[in-house]
Amino acid sequence: MNERYASLTAPAAARASNPATARVSTLAVALLASTTLGNPALAQSAPKAKAASAPASATAPANAPAAPAVAAPAEPVQLVRSITIDGAQRLEPDTIRSYIRLREGDRYTQAAADQVLKDLFATELFADVQVRNNAGAVTIQVKENPVVNRIILEGNKRLKEDKILPEIKLSARQIFTRSKVRADVSRIIELYKRQGRFAASVEPKMVMLDQNRVDIVFEITEGPKSKVRQINIIGNQQFSDTELRTEMVTKQARAFRLFSSGTSYDPDRLAFDQQKLRQFYLTKGYADFRVVSAVAELTPDKKDFIITYVVEEGKRYKFGDVKVDSQLREIDGDSLVKKLPMKAGDWYNAKLVEDTVDSLSETAGSLGYAFANVQPDFARNKDDLTMGITFRIADAPRVYVERVDVNGNTLTQDKVIRREFRLAEGDAFNSYQIKRSSNRIKSLGYFQEKFEVEQKPGTTPDRIALEANVEEKPTGELQLSAGFSSLESFIFQASIRQNNFRGRGQTLGLSVDYSYYSRSVQLSFTEPYLFDRNISMGVDVYRRDYNSFNYLNSNRNTTYKQTTTGFQIRAGVPLTEYMSLIGRYTFNIDDVTLDEATYYLNGTCSPLLAGRYLCDAIGHRTSSIFGTSVVYDTLDNRLRPTKGTSWLLSGDIAGLGGSVKYARITANAAHYWPVGKGFVFSLRGEGGAIEPLASRSSDPTVDDVRLTDRFFLGQPQMRGFDIRGVGPRVLRKYYSRNSDGTFGAITTDRNSWADDALGGRYYYIGHAELEIPLGAGAREMGLRPSIFMDAGAVWGVRRPATSTGVVLYTDALTGKITTAANASDGTANSTYQKYDEVFVGNSPQPRISIGIGVNWNSPFGPFRIDFAKVLKKVDGDDTQPITFNVGTQF
């Protein structure tokens, strides 16, 4: 680097030659040296200012004899005749004169000259100042501090510039001062300490430019991230070190905690862990527990920390007498005591006391006392080690809602939020309804999850203001999923949906599904509050194309095509706060066709070529379906529930118009439990049945419920199984071909079989799932793993007619597949294929799978992957161990 690139820690040099000038310059050197950035060696090497009465050359040798004391001559009186400023570039001379106390007509003394230096250096505008006096003509020679041209950061990889530059004082076009540089160095080091990098160092340097400008360069050595190598606990007798470490947020650095952020040292976390230890002991009855000291020591290599806690456990207490003293007329303290979770003789638990205070406050709030004060009074008896508690509920005025404020919504209309409030202006306050309002607003999915309705005092003591301070998030969803199935080959699904269309709370969606054998498109619209009344209305319009297939010589061949075009109109009204009634009407036009040239013999569908179950599905029909559903929902959040119950009971009747006649009933239910420390356990189940209302055929092998109306089960309802991989099906197994054209044994490669799922009249499925919380680092990444078990079955279809030992030929004249050994002119046809058909899977026995799954809010959108192991299946079921889907939001 050129000679203008200098370390900011180097002191300035004296630049005067005469004694008077030397004295002033030396003082400036000393002042500048004192601003060196934390470098004691440099600070000590800076020369000190000499006494005002001693010339710079009058330094006596150390071993010279002491001079006799002589009275100093009186300083002559000299008045300041003029003050001249030299060296100023950006500042006006008058501006500089305004910074000093010395004025024309004042007496000039050394003390006055020193004060000039102090005044000007205090402005931090000057790099050097010299004062010269010539018989009252005072000249102040200044050298202005340079202007910062730019700030350059070097070596910063873990902290980017956008995280550092806003935190420091210096910036482009500011006046350079060493104190600001020193403060910025400290600030940068502090930022790295917050990242757990306590070995970080910063070396500031300055590049001199023309026109008195400088570039400031901060050379950063980040160093390794400081980990917690060891956590020692001294004084614990009742609980092991491992038990206590488990309660702490800070964890010891170990290989299996590679992705955990809890292994980094954080002083704030150290203080929090002391509170965690105290909370743990208080829940175990140790009311006298205290942390005597907590010391964090940096290892000699400055890479890791060793933390040592000294604790004093004290004695273990039990609950004594527990009472409730209520001054509110509506609350009877004696009756509440019977409902309290703690009883005399139980081990003392501070968490129960805290929960009881919250419960009593909520009870008072549900009666309209928003500001009821519940205080526990403790009566500690150290003789018998009991802790008596009296919960005192102070008298308070009944509170009413004065106003409801909605803030932060830029897209969503106010009415969309306000209509979810269970309280309105003038209503009596009710804490339960406030909580319910918060849950309903969160369940909309339009706002960030950390939302609560805030309570603010009103204009009078009996009034309260409710504030909904929302933070909107993207409500558009673009979901993409892809996969590979042995049945469908490549699968692609995409949907785009706006859940808050035009900020009115409406939902508008378009979905497209595509695979090797199926395609569908659906457009839907939902208005949750029709004409601003609590009535929901929705409509779906769709088109679905389904191609069934089989295999011949491992070649996939389409056997029939089904197209369904239809619409559904639905409306819903609330019955209670948690229950709703939904009515719907669905009209479908189904058209199932088959290639007559390939699969028809003598003008009719041949079961030997296409299968009886496929021939049975051919035709044109219409379905007119009326249905109703009853919905019950107490979930705290419909999008990501942690507690509550929901169930749905639906019934449909087809036959009031149309050519299809059946009755169908389905039900599903779910319950969620928070299982402490972030775990959420859920049980979900569903089932259904369909019964025909008319007979379709006298043939006992023909089921009266059409193939397209039956229930199917598999992925994604049951993880571990392929799409429609569970339940009744017909497998057409082909024989291998020998080199001489004859047939050998049946092939064992399932992918070469024709696999047609038939569905069933009845089904059930259950899920048990435990969501596992991870550390703070994983939560920030949006990772939510879970373990699950799925069990279910579908069955009840009539046994179809099947064939064995069927030989297919290639017609010598037409080239089409036929069952005839000879062509129409008597020519022998060549053999094409031979197969056996088996009917399997028609059993109510549960299929069971277990596995693990991970939800990840990735940078490119929500991602879900499941790994499943099938524990129990029935012959014919098709498994799929890995599934995933990915989406994004906008």
- Report the alpha-carbon distance of residue 214 to residue 403 in Å, rounded: 58
**pLDDT tens digit sequence for 56-112:** 333 344 444 444 555 555 556 788 889 999 988 888 888 889 999 999 888 888 998
What pLDDT was estimated at residue 488? 52
Closest CA to 214 of 146, 300, 311: 146
User: H-helix or E-strand containing 33?
Assistant: helix 19-33
Q: How far apart are CA 671 and CA 881, in angstroms?
A: 27
Q: Is 219 within 8 Å of 207 (Cβ atoms)?
A: no
Query: Phi/psi zone of residue 676: left (φ > 0), alpha (ψ -120 to 50 degrees), beta?
Result: left
Name residues whose C-beta falls within 8 Å of residue 604's C-beta, 6 or more positions apart in sequence. none
Residue type, 353: V
Phi-psi region of 200 (alpha: psi -120 to 50; beta: other; left: phi over 0): beta
Residue with tokens 């013999």: 601
Token pair for residue 375? Answer: 């205080």
The answer to whether residue 256 scores a pLDDT higher than 90 is no
Q: Are 210 and 246 in contact (CB under 8 A)?
A: no
Per the listing, tokens 């790099």 go with: 127
Sequence letter at residue 319: F
pLDDT digits (tens, 9 = 90+) for 301-334: 777 889 999 999 999 999 999 999 988 888 888 8
Check: CB of residue 504 under 8 Å from CB of residue 498: no
DSSP 8-state code for residue 606: -
Query: Are the beta carbons of 374 and 367 closer than 8 angstroms?
Result: no
pLDDT tens-digit series, residues 198-240: 888 899 998 988 888 889 999 998 887 788 889 999 999 999 9
The set of residues, in sequence order, having a beta carbon less than 8 Å from that of 648 and lying 6+ positions away, is 629, 630, 631, 632, 666, 667, 668, 669
Q: Which are the contacts of 885, defined by CB distance < 8 A and separation ≥ 6?
A: 479, 480, 481, 482, 483, 493, 863, 864
Strands 762-771 and 600-601: unpaired
499 closest CA partner among 171, 29, 890, 34: 890
Mean pLDDT, range 824-837, rounded to an integer: 86
**Which H/E stretch holds residue 242?**
helix 241-247
Each residue of 433-460: pLDDT tens digit? 888 888 888 878 788 777 788 888 888 8
Point out which residues pair with 221 in neighbouring strands: 201
Confidence of residue 386 (pLDDT cuts 50, 70, 90): very high
pLDDT of residue 420: 86
What pLDDT does residue 185 have? Answer: 93
- pLDDT surpassing 60 at residue 4: no
Whole-model pTM: value is 0.58
* DSSP symbols for 767-787: EEEEE----HHHHHHTEEEEE
**Rounded percentage of the chain residues whose pLDDT exceeds 70:** 85
Name the pLDDT band for 33 (thresholds 50, 70, 90): very low
- 48: pLDDT strictly greater than 60: no
Residue 20 phi/psi, 5-degree rounding, is -65, -45
